[in-house]
Amino acid sequence: MKSTILSVWNFYSEGFRNMTWGRPLWILIFLKIIILFAVLRLFFFRPTLSGKTEAEKIEYVGSRLACPPAADATPVWEAVETEKPVSSE
C-alpha cells in the first residue's frame, strides 16, 4: 500500500517536473478559475445579510427556510433598488 502511494506520487512529481507546455497551461487554468469565481462572487452572490443586526438575520433566514421564494420571483440581481429618475412635471 505504501509503495503504491509512493510510486503514484513519484509518477506525478516526475511528470510535473518535466513539463514544457504544461506549466503555463496550469497557470492559465488556475488564473481563469480565480477570475471566474471572483466574477461570480461579485455579480451573482451578493451578501444579503450584511449590514443587518443579529435579530434581522435570524428573521430573514427563518422566513426563507419556512417559505422559500416562488419560482417566478424576481431574481436578486434585478430586485436591487435603483434610483428612479425624477420626473419634471
Distance CA 29, CA 59 (A): 41
Instruction: Establish if 74 belongs to a structural domain.
Output: no
For the stretch 10-63, pLDDT in tens is 998 888 888 888 888 888 999 999 998 888 887 777 777 888 899 998 888 888
Residues 6+ apart with CB under 8 A from 50: none
What pLDDT sits at residue 31?
93
Range of the domain at 38: 2-67
What pLDDT sits at residue 84?
56
Instruction: Establish if 15 belongs to a structural domain.
Output: yes
Instruction: Establish if 81 belongs to a structural domain.
Output: no
Residue where the block lists cell 517536473: 17
Instruction: Establish if 79 belongs to a structural domain.
Output: no
What pLDDT sits at residue 6?
93
Tally of CB atoms within 10 A around 52: 13
Structural domain count, the chain: 1
Instruction: Establish if 84 belongs to a structural domain.
Output: no
Q: 71: pLDDT confidence band, cut at 50, 70 and 90?
A: low
What pLDDT sits at residue 74?
63
